[in-house]
Structure 1
Amino acid sequence: MPSLTVTGDADRLRSASDALIPYLVPPPPPAADICPGCSSWRDVLGQDLCHNCADVVQALGRVPVPATVISLYRKPSPLRDWLTFYKDPDAAADDEHRQWPLEPARETTARLSTITARFLLENVGAAPLQDLDAVCVVPSTRRQPPHALEAVLRGVGLNVPVVSLLQRTTTPLEHSHPALGAYACTEPVQDSRVLLVDDVYTTGALSQSAAHALQEAGAHVTALIVLARRFNPGHDPAVAAIWQRQAAAAFSWRCDWPSTSAPPSPH
């Protein structure tokens, strides 16, 4: 099984990606007010997890797969526009929150590929990126496959295949409520090492339900990489303080990988 690598001109990639740093906000490091499961704020200091991650434990019977976040984002912001309109470019013209000029979807896709490729390039050799069988995208709840994020990942130039291993079932899955059986594997994954990727993380209901489906089928989810984690500074003064703290911090492409979920127990 190969360790994940990124092909292409590394110097050109570094130059292109560094030009995007002004639009990126580093996720917070471990702290008393930060949830270790999703890099969000803890609702109550002293609790192990935020309420969203606690919902995952209650609904799925597993601790969340820790989200490895490349950048935070808020609405409005250019990064929010890229993440929204690469999937639905027709919606950009009438979006009252749009801050980025209208452009073809391929340009936005290429920009997100640049961000993802640089992140992976600078983290080559990290344990979750070694000995992988596949890279898998969390399926959309509303749009028909293939997911637009698959095009982003294929634009990265990975040596590990990007494979559609999951599909939505008829089990209801709400934005803020994870659900057992919301996803099903489309092929055998027993004993496979799978890197799971999502574009946006808000409550984690979709990502964690997808991770659970892979784990239940016998896969080892080595990590959950998220291009951007939603923050809402207007939610609470404590949240605003975290956002301001991170917006003022220097952005780094390297990350301290959280502990991954344990390999699934045999059934």
Structure 2
Amino acid sequence: MKVALGEIWQVLPISLYVKPSELRDWLKFYKPSGGDRYDPSYGIKLTQILARFFDAQMSNIEATWGPIDGICVVPSTKGVVPHPLCRVYERTNVGLPLVEVLVRGKGPLRHRFAHRDGFDCTSQGAGHKILLLDDVYTTGATAQSAAYALKSAGYEVPGILTIARRINPDFTPQVRSLWERCSADEFDFNGKFI
């Protein structure tokens, strides 16, 4: 990914999850595109998670990255506009404006394949620091491509906040060890975030 984009942005996951899990279902079926398993109450649960995280961690985020001017949701690769995560974020009432400046570009985006033209930015952002928000971070190709587009348009992107990072404990022994360490700890919104 670094070769394709020139840099990699730091990722801040609120939580980790495995498949199957309740959190995975919330993240998959909060979207109307979830088919017959779509459940709008899952979006409310995600709003609560995001709001509690911002309430507990905004001062730490700004102490680490400086004042944030806005939040930009990583657009859907399937063309759903606006992304359902925009509504989830708006319900948090965090107070940072939602900056909707990314649209799907012409470059291909696939699992593990980031692209410089995956997204286009509809405005120039010199002097604006934008935190990128995604619902799920799996390989990072989509979110990293979105960060690249923002940076190319002059925005400063200190990092990518994601509600959850998908973990496959069977991928490597190191990933299994990470999952075992993290899942042994009780979740705490006030814990150290970086």
What is the TM-score with the length of structure 1 in the denominator?
0.67
Match of 1:169 in 2: 105
Shift of 1:239: 2.2
| 2:117 maps to 1:181 | yes
The equivalences for 1:129-168 within 5 A come to: 130-168=66-104
SS for the counterpart of 1:233 is coil
Match of 1:7 in 2: none
**Could you tell me how far apart the structure 2 residues matched to 1:217 and 1:255 are?**
34
Q: Which runs of 5+ in 2 are unaligned?
A: none
Shift of 1:91: 4.5
Match of 1:109 in 2: 43
Match of 1:233 in 2: 169
SS for the counterpart of 2:130 is strand
**Could you tell me how far apart the structure 1 residues matched to 2:177 and 2:66 are?**
36
20, 29, 33: which one aligns with 1:85: 29
Q: Which runs of 5+ in 1 are unaligned?
A: 1-55, 93-102, 259-267
Shift of 1:132: 2.5
**Could you tell me how far apart the structure 1 residues matched to 2:67 and 2:120 are?**
24
Match of 2:52 in 1: 118
Mean Cα deviation higher: 112-121 or 82-91:
82-91
Shift of 1:204: 0.6
**Could you tell me how far apart the structure 2 residues matched to 1:191 and 1:177 are?**
29
**Could you tell me how far apart the structure 1 residues matched to 2:56 and 2:131 are?**
16
What's the Cα RMSD here?
1.7
AA partner of residue 156 (structure 2): H
| 2:169 maps to 1:224 | no
SS for the counterpart of 1:123 is helix
Shift of 1:222: 2.7
Q: Tell me which structure has the larger Cα radius of gyration.
A: 1
AA partner of residue 171 (structure 1): G
Q: 1:213 to 1:79 in 2, by over 3 A?
A: same
Tell me the alpha carbon deviations over residues 134-183 of structure 1, each in whole angstroms, 9 at most, x when there is no partner: 21000111142100000110110121111211011111111211111211
SS for the counterpart of 2:157 is strand
**Could you tell me how far apart the structure 2 residues matched to 1:236 and 1:257 are?**
24
Aligned residues: 191
66, 71, 88: which one aligns with 2:10: 66
Give yes or no for contact 2:67–2:129 (8 Å, CA) kept in 1. Answer: yes
Give yes or no for contact 2:54–2:94 (8 Å, CA) kept in 1. Answer: no
Give yes or no for contact 1:129–1:195 (8 Å, CA) kept in 2. Answer: no
Q: 1:183 to 1:255 in 2, by over 3 A?
A: farther
What is the TM-score with the length of structure 2 in the denominator?
0.91
Give yes or no for contact 2:10–2:158 (8 Å, CA) kept in 1. Answer: no
